[in-house]
Every structure is written in C-alpha cells, then in structure tokens.
Structure 1
Amino acid sequence: MRYIKWAFLALLALCLITVGFANREVVNLQLLPEDIAVFAGISAGVSMPLYLIVFASVIAGLLIGFVWEWLREHKHRSVASSSRKEKAALESELRELKTGSRDTNDDVLALLETPKSAR
C-alpha cells in the first residue's frame, strides 16, 4: 500500500509540474472589471504567472471547503461531546454503586443482592 501511495503522489507531482510549465505566461489579474475600476477610481491589479493563480485558487477553494464543513458539523460534534460526558457520568455512578457505598443493614436489599444459589 505504501508503494501505491508514493506512486500516486509522484504522478500527482508530475501532473502539477506539467500544468505549471504549460502555463508560465504572465497574466494581469484585476480586482474589478476595467469600466467599474475607472468609475470607482480603484485600479488594483497584479501581474503573475497563470499557474500561480490556478494553484492559489485550488488551495483557496480547499480551505473554504474545509472551513465550511467544519462549521456545518458543529452540531454533530457538540452532540457527541455531550454524549461522552453523559456516558462518563453514568459510568462513574455505576462504579460508585458497584463499590458498595450502600447500607447493608436493609433486609430487602440484602435479599435482592443475594445470588439465587445462596438462598
């Protein structure tokens, strides 16, 4: 399985390098369309290779997806956390009951706790 993982990573790296070499030309990335930028008085832009824009877009999309999924699953994590706390409290209570911090002078409890073979 380890060799399959390394082969997959090598193939992925080869594909990314190929995409990078194929898209080396410098492009101008503008914040706003030209007409709106002139109207607003903002002409922010940057020139960079196309492969950097593509890779940065993929990374930004992955990060946005991870954050969105983390926020979406918040209610499931909170329910699981409260269930774990309740389970721990019940286990603690059961352990306390089994250790015998009960009154053994009660005849009814003594009958209930005595195994049937000893009666």
Structure 2
Amino acid sequence: MIRYLRLILLALLGLFLLTVALANRAVVPVRLLPEDLAALTRLTWAMELPLFLIIFGGIIAGVLIGFVWEWFREHGHRATASQKSREVARLERELAVLKDATSVPPKDEVLALLEKP
C-alpha cells in the first residue's frame, strides 16, 4: 500500500514539474551582474536559458545548500556521539576484563560447592 502511495506521489510530482517546465519555456537572459555594475567592472557575462531551468536550478541549489548547512550544524552532535561510542566500547572491554578476572573458579571442588549461591 505504501509502495503504491509513493509511486502515485512521485507520478504527481513528475506531472507537476512537467507542467511547470511546459508553462515556462520562454528564453530569458541570465547575467552575472546587473547591467550598470557589469559596465563598470567590464564583466558582461550573460547567457540565455529557458526559465524552467533557472527555476529548477534554484530549487536544486537551495536543497543542496540546506543539506550542507545542516551537515555542518550537526557536526558537534556527530562528534559527541562518536566520542561516547568510543567510551562505551572502552568501558565494555574493561568490564569484560574485570568479569574474566573475577570469574576464576576455585581450584578446590569443596570450596567451589560452598561458594555457589
């Protein structure tokens, strides 16, 4: 059921993106700088692209910037979790050594019977 729901949602998203692309096919100029600033700096780079490519490029750039921003923001949490996981592993090894050291059976069978609870 969830699989079909996911496929339906993906189909609707694809149909929506196709509709946006068809509605925004007009070619628009994309400039590196505004015209006045470009004339001042002599950087007059410009390209003509369909509007839907600019829209989709902006969406993709925003998602990528958001992912990178979140990855950097959570760096402290990941570092703390890694440190705690190393500490837990160290303590588990130490506990295993202590259990092995205290679980040495007595050599006398009579004492072993008396020490059993």
Does TM, normalized by the shorter one, top 0.5? yes
1:102: Cα distance to partner?
7.8
1:6 aligns with 2:11: no
Corresponding residue of 2:26: 25
In the TM superposition, structure 1's runs of 4+ consecutive aligned residues that sit over 4 Å from their partners are: 101-105
1:101: Cα distance to partner?
6.5
For residues 8 and 74 of structure 1, what CA distance do their matches in structure 2 show? 33
Which whole-Å deviations, capped at 9, do the CAs of 1:4-58 have from their partners, x for residues lacking one?
0000000000000000000001000111111111111110111010000000110
For residues 85 and 25 of structure 1, what CA distance do their matches in structure 2 show? 57
Corresponding residue of 1:72: 73
Which stretch of the first structure deviates more once superposed, 79-88 or 36-45? Answer: 36-45
TM-score (norm 2): 0.86
Corresponding residue of 2:35: 34
Corresponding residue of 1:51: 52
For residues 22 and 59 of structure 2, what CA distance do their matches in structure 1 show? 17
Structure 1, unaligned stretches of length 5 or more?
A: 106-113
Structure 2, unaligned stretches of length 5 or more?
A: 107-114
For residues 104 and 64 of structure 2, what CA distance do their matches in structure 1 show? 59
Number of equivalences:
108
1:100: Cα distance to partner?
2.3
TM-score (norm 1): 0.85
1:96 aligns with 2:113: no
Q: Secondary structure at the match of 2:44?
A: coil
Superposition RMSD in Å: 1.8
